[in-house]
Amino acid sequence: MPSSKPVIITTTAPDRAEAEKIGGLLLSEQLAACVQYDEIRSQYVWDGEIRTDSEIRITIKTTRNRYGKIEKLIRQHHSYDCPQILMVTVSRGFKPYLAWLRNASGQGG
């Protein structure tokens, strides 16, 4: 049986419009319970060069068994060639909040 354990998935987008498009799709398809956006400054190596860009970090609160569909949706609607998509397991949290997270992402209590 696929796991409905809570997880946090993060990705980044080049601007707020793309971030909110991805987040809105995740919510409307009940793949996430909550999506948050933060303006960040990223410095990284790409094609052998050090780059610095402003980005929007997208924090997605969901369950483990939603990862595959979330990754697919992000890849379909993302403008980056290789978007960051990372999943972190939530090992503990406030039980009523975690129950809400499962329910809101289509996983039941």
pLDDT in tens, the chain (109 residues): 458 899 999 999 999 999 999 999 999 999 999 999 999 999 999 999 999 999 999 999 999 999 999 999 999 999 999 999 999 999 999 999 999 999 998 876 4
d(CA 109, CA 98): 9
The CATH fold assigned to 6-104 is Alpha-Beta Plaits (3.30.70)
Task: Give the predicted TM-score (pTM) of the model.
Answer: 0.92
> Following DSSP, what letter does each residue of 14-60 receive, concatenated?
SSHHHHHHHHHHHHHTTS-SEEEEEEEEEEEEETTEEEEEEEEEEEE
User: Domain residue spans in the chain?
Assistant: 6-104
